[in-house]
Structure 1
Amino acid sequence: MDNSNHAGPSYKSRFKKFILKIVLGVIVLCAILLWACSWTYSEGTRAGQLIKISKKGVVFKTNEGELNMGGLRMGNANDGLEGNLWQFSVLNEEVLEELKSAEGKRVKLSYKERYKTMPWQGNTNYFITKVEVIKP
């Protein structure tokens, strides 16, 4: 009996299996990353004066805003006191238009906090879902 035909898998078949494992690994990692970026970590509301809405970014332009929640807080040791500002991002165009019309007014913002975000979503993990203008 001649066993020379049973030398094991060829280089080509081993290479194909290796590439398949790499592709499957990348797909699994991308799926986990997308899940982490869409998972809501917490949700709630914050109130204060809406002081800024802007479009920021070098490669990805995102909608960002700042809310002055009132009061002061301690900054770095060299900075001293600073305003109590809260930064957030906006994905929804309708919410963005509501925020633009409420700039400078006191508002109550509903938000969702995500565990992680992609660069094209926003600079913060906080995403505004609802805007309520507080009547004086």
Structure 2
Amino acid sequence: MPITRPRRAGPIVLAILVAAAALFALYLWTVLNWSYSEGERAGYLQKLSKKGWLCKTWEGEILLSSMPGAIPERFAFTVRDENVVRQLQASMGQRVQLSYSQHVGLPTTCFGETSYFVDKAMVGGVNPVAPNNT
């Protein structure tokens, strides 16, 4: 009867770890590249700062107001594009219109403190529609 040596668990454990890392990388790529929602918001830029202990991200806040005299709602967002950051820094306190995409399920705040990522900003926002006097 031949003597059989016990199988080593090393290659199996390594294969499981590699598969788990690949699945995590695929998940991360998916949530960063496919957005849950996209849209635009307009309001007055109140805050823009670079925050974080280890991962520094640009975080901002605009105040949305549906009508004059109403209590404004805060909209927090993250900016990853340095060109958009410079544009927003120059428009502090002014009305801005932001185009954003929402990415749900990010595993850490290293990508941003919010799930709303601004990719375009327009200073002044949308001009109000003039009444039709015809």
Normalising TM by the smaller chain, what interval? 0.7 to 0.9
Query: Is the Cα contact below 8 Å between 1:42 and 1:113 reproduced in 2?
Result: yes
CA-to-aligned-CA distance 1:16-40 (integer Å, 9 cap, x gap): 2232223222222232233223321
Q: Aligned Cα RMSD in Å?
A: 2.4
Separation in 2, partners of 1:133, 1:15 = 58
Aligned residue for 2:60? 65
Separation in 1, partners of 2:30, 2:15 = 23
Separation in 2, partners of 1:110, 1:25 = 35
Unaligned runs of 5+ in 1: 73-81
Instruction: Give the alignment of 1:88-127 within 5 angstroms.
Output: 88-117=77-106, 118-127=108-117
Larger Rg: 1
The offset of 1:83, in angstroms, is 3.8
The offset of 1:71, in angstroms, is 5.4
Q: 2:22 aligns with which of 27, 31, 50?
A: 27
Query: Is the Cα contact below 8 Å between 1:71 and 1:83 reproduced in 2?
Result: yes
The offset of 1:61, in angstroms, is 1.2
| Matched length | 123
Query: Is the Cα contact below 8 Å between 1:39 and 1:115 reproduced in 2?
Result: no
Aligned residue for 1:40? 35
> Counterpart amino acid of 1:93?
E
Q: Comparing both structures, which one devotes a greater share of its residues to strand?
A: 1
- Structure 2 residue 123 is the aligned partner of structure 1 residue 128: no
The offset of 1:55, in angstroms, is 0.9
Unaligned runs of 5+ in 2: 128-134
